[in-house]
Amino acid sequence: RKADPTANPAIVTWIGYRSPNMIEVFAGDRAAAGAVPLASFIDGVNAVRGSSGNSMQSFTVLAHSYGSTTAAEALKISRTRVDSFVTYGSAGLEGDTTVDLLHADNMYSTMAGGDQTAGVGLKGSGRIDPIGIPGVDEFSSGNDNGGKRVTMHSMFAEEGEWSLVNWSKIGYLSAGTESAESMGKIIAGGRP
């Protein structure tokens, strides 16, 4: 609402593949298998988007952790484009991934300094960090502009949760984080 008070966003969670266990996260099999139904889902949303009378202004794919690996593979094979592709806490993208291969007009990525999990999947798999891909715009998950700093790999944590590793658990989509605010701006069709 801060980015565009007239925006009327809809958020859909896609659960259409079997996510990997801790060993499988190092391979690309689950991403390849999940890419086919996700690409079909993206094409279906775009078919509805293009129908007469539909007023969907922008279509953004947000992908967390290994979901970013799967979403990138889906965007390579989808027949239609999305406005923006956003990765956060990514487990890495396959080595052949370029912005040009993805059917996305814009790509954004963030990785929290307090995320001790994503790097394990990224480094252990040999995949590439989306932040290093030419043409990908990085946005902050720190507190550069006064927002809360993300301190964990999860998307969200209840207020006050803590562990021995993180005194205070704050996820990428927790209220008050710069990462959540930036993603809201992207969803509204803007830039972080």
- pLDDT tens-digit readout, 10-55: 788 898 889 998 899 999 999 999 999 999 999 999 888 767 666 6
pLDDT value, residue 62: 97
Confidence of residue 57 (pLDDT cuts 50, 70, 90): confident
pTM above 0.75, yes or no: yes
Q: At a CB cut-off of 8 Å and minimum separation 6, what does 103 contact?
A: 75, 76, 78, 79, 80, 81, 82
Mean pLDDT of the chain: 88
pLDDT value, residue 84: 95
Q: Which amino acid is at 26?
A: F
Where is average pLDDT lowest: 65-74, 111-120, 131-140?
A: 111-120
- From residue 54, how far is each of 49, 50, 57, 58, 94 by CA, in Å? 6, 7, 9, 11, 34
Residue 124: pLDDT over 90? no
- Are 70 and 37 in contact by the 8 Å Cβ rule? The answer is no
Interval 50-74 mean pLDDT: 87
Percent of the chain with pLDDT over 70: 90
- pLDDT tens-digit readout, 141-184: 988 777 888 988 888 876 666 666 556 688 999 988 999 999 99
* Backbone φ/ψ region at 60: left (φ over 0), alpha (ψ -120 to 50), beta: beta
pLDDT value, residue 98: 96
User: Could you tell me the two tokens for 98?
Assistant: 């370029």
pLDDT value, residue 4: 72
User: Could you tell me the two tokens for 63?
Assistant: 């992908």
pLDDT value, residue 190: 77
